[in-house]
Structure 1
Amino acid sequence: MRIPPLYRRPSWQRLFGGMVLGAIISWCIFLYIYGEWQEKLVTKIEEQTYTIEDLSQTNKSYYEEIQNLNKITQEKLRVQKISVTLMNGERYQFTSLMTFMIEDQVKEDVSDVLAKDLESVYKTRKLMKKAVENKVYKIDDKQYRVEIEEMFIYTTLSIELKVSFAK
Structure 2
Amino acid sequence: MRIPPYHRQPGWQRFFAGMMAGAAAAWCVFLFTYGVLQEKQVKIIQEQKSAVLELTRKNSIYQEDSRELNEEVNKKLVVQELNVKLTNGERFKLSPLTIHKIEIEAKKDLSDLLERDLESIFESRKIIKKAIENKVYRIDDKDYRLLVKEMTIYTTLYLEVEVSFVD
Give the TM-score, by structure 1 length: 0.90
Residues 154-163 or 139-148, more deviating: 139-148
Deviations 1:33-65 (A, max 9, x none): 011111111111111211221222222222222
1:86-101 correspondence runs (5 A): 86-101=86-101
- Shift in Å, 1:106: 1.1
Deviations 1:44-101 (A, max 9, x none): 1111211221222222222222222222222111111111111121111121210111
Q: Which residue of the partner structure matches residue 74 of structure 2?
A: 74
- Shift in Å, 1:158: 1.0
The reply to whether residue 143 of structure 1 matches residue 143 of structure 2 is: yes
1:33-112 correspondence runs (5 A): 33-112=33-112
Name the amino acid aligned to 1:64.
Answer: E
Structure 1 segments of 4+ aligned residues over 6 angstroms from their partners: none
CA RMSD in angstroms, aligned pairs only:
1.7
Name the amino acid aligned to 2:28.
Answer: C
Residues 100-109 or 137-146, more deviating: 137-146
Q: Which residue of the partner structure matches residue 154 of structure 1?
A: 154
The reply to whether residue 115 of structure 1 matches residue 115 of structure 2 is: yes
Structure 2 CA distance for aligned equivalents of residues 3 and 144 of structure 1: 121
Q: Which residue of the partner structure matches residue 9 of structure 2?
A: 9
Q: Which residue of the partner structure matches residue 164 of structure 1?
A: 164
Q: Could you tell me the percent identity over the aligned residues?
A: 50
Structure 1 CA distance for aligned equivalents of residues 39 and 164 of structure 2: 83
Q: Which residue of the partner structure matches residue 24 of structure 1?
A: 24
Name the amino acid aligned to 1:48.
Answer: Q
- Shift in Å, 1:29: 0.6
Residues 83-92 or 55-64, more deviating: 55-64
Q: How many pairs are equivalent?
A: 167
- Shift in Å, 1:2: 4.6
Secondary structure of 2:83's counterpart equals: strand
Unmatched tracts of structure 1, length 5 or more: none
Structure 2 CA distance for aligned equivalents of residues 147 and 25 of structure 1: 96
